[in-house]
Amino acid sequence: MFDLALPARTPLPQPPFLPTTRAEMDALGWDSLDILLVTGDAYVDHPAFGVPLLGRWLTAHGYRVGIVAQPRWKDEAQGLSDIVRMGRPRLFAGVSAGALDSMLAHYTAFRKKRHDDAYTPGGKAGARPNRAVVVYAGLVRRAFPGLPLLAGGIEASLRRITQYDFWSDALRRSILFDARLDILSCGMGERSLLDVARRLDAVAEIGGDLAALEAVDGDAIGIMGWSQGGMNAMLAAAAYPDTFKAVVTWAGATGMKGVNFAQRYETAKKDGYTVTEYD
């Protein structure tokens, strides 16, 4: 994908509001979406709310963006109805828990249930689920099989790697696995989001429906890294042997005490590689 000629689209005029229904799409003259964004917040068209801001950013770069705000997650049929009401997007769907981590939105630091939600109409609690990114990703997967799926925002960013989960008092693995994400955008994601859109746009122009792309073989996933990332790659491979079938590192930062580097170097010159085993 890095050798593709990335398309530069003509900016679209900013609508009064980004569409949330098929009728609003029709009013704009849009027959389909390029990108669907799902958020755990109400749709508040203000720069303090990241999903609408990113939607307008993408629109300014020529992409038709729709928003599903707070899909009805308690009933799967209703949730799927909310997700599909504007049709399958051409490029990808993005999910976010909203401006606040969903667990923090629901519980106090003493694990007491909150009775309101400041980012829901009327302050009503319960409009977003616990671990919203995982729930929304599941709805999108069921609604649009094969569609590339991206997550971003504070909940996804903080949970991008193995983390201590205060609510369960345990370590949880990366949200990449729990939400079955294709891409996780960390932090201020406007540039990476636009880059994803352009690259998937280029692929779609060549190959058509992105759902027709060959799926990743779940039995042949490897991990790689350099230096500190190499150490993390080895730790991840050791922690999740059923997920990662191979690991490649460059100068992986591990405990090197007792390793004869001169001997390793001579072996590498002779054989083209060297192997170091760890307990």
What is the C-alpha to C-alpha distance for residues 122 and 46, in angstroms, rounded to an integer?
A: 18
pLDDT for position 218: 62
Written as six digits, the tokens of 7 are 């398309």
Percent share of the chain, pLDDT over 90: 58
Query: Would residue 10 count as lying in a domain?
Result: no
Quick one: 141 and 260 in the same domain? no
The average pLDDT across 198-216 equals 76
Quick one: 258 and 130 in the same domain? no
pLDDT for position 253: 60
Query: Mean pLDDT, the chain, as a whole number?
Result: 87
Quick one: 48 and 161 in the same domain? yes
Query: Would residue 248 count as lying in a domain?
Result: yes
Quick one: 239 and 199 in the same domain? no
Quick one: 141 and 263 in the same domain? no
pTM of the prediction? 0.76
Residue 123 has pLDDT above 80, yes or no: yes
The average pLDDT across 30-41 equals 97
In this structure, the strands spanning 246-250 and 222-226 are parallel
The average pLDDT across 46-55 equals 93
**Nearest by Cα to 19 from 109, 85, 103:** 85
Quick one: 35 and 155 in the same domain? yes
Percent share of the chain, pLDDT over 70: 90
The HSE-up count of residue 98 (CA atoms within 13 Å, CB side) is 29
Written as six digits, the tokens of 110 are 């003493």
Q: Is 95 exposed, middle or buried (0-12, 13-18, 19+ CB in 10 A)?
A: buried
Quick one: 191 and 235 in the same domain? no
Task: Please tell me what DSSP assigns to residue 273.
Answer: -
Task: Please tell me what DSSP assigns to residue 223.
Answer: E
Quick one: 202 and 265 in the same domain? no
Sheet holding 35-39, edge to edge: 65-69, 35-39, 92-96, 149-151, 183-184
pLDDT for position 18: 97
What is the C-alpha to C-alpha distance for residues 229 and 249, in angstroms, rounded to an integer?
A: 8
Quick one: 61 and 114 in the same domain? yes
CATH code, domain with 37: 3.40.50.280
The average pLDDT across 265-279 equals 74
Quick one: 102 and 240 in the same domain? no
pLDDT for position 2: 46
Q: Which domain holds residue 257?
A: 222-271
Q: 263: Cβ–Cβ under 8 A, 6 or more apart, which residues? A: none
Quick one: 171 and 117 in the same domain? yes
* Residue 65 β-bridge partners: 35
The average pLDDT across 32-57 equals 95
Written as six digits, the tokens of 18 are 């980004």
Residues in the chain, overall count: 279
Place of tokens 């003509």: 10
pLDDT, one tens digit per residue, over 225-256 is: 877 677 778 777 888 888 888 888 776 665 55
Query: Would residue 11 count as lying in a domain?
Result: no
Quick one: 205 and 234 in the same domain? no
Domain count, the chain: 2
pLDDT for position 270: 83
DSSP-H helix ranges across 74-189: 76-84, 102-106, 132-143, 154-158, 175-178
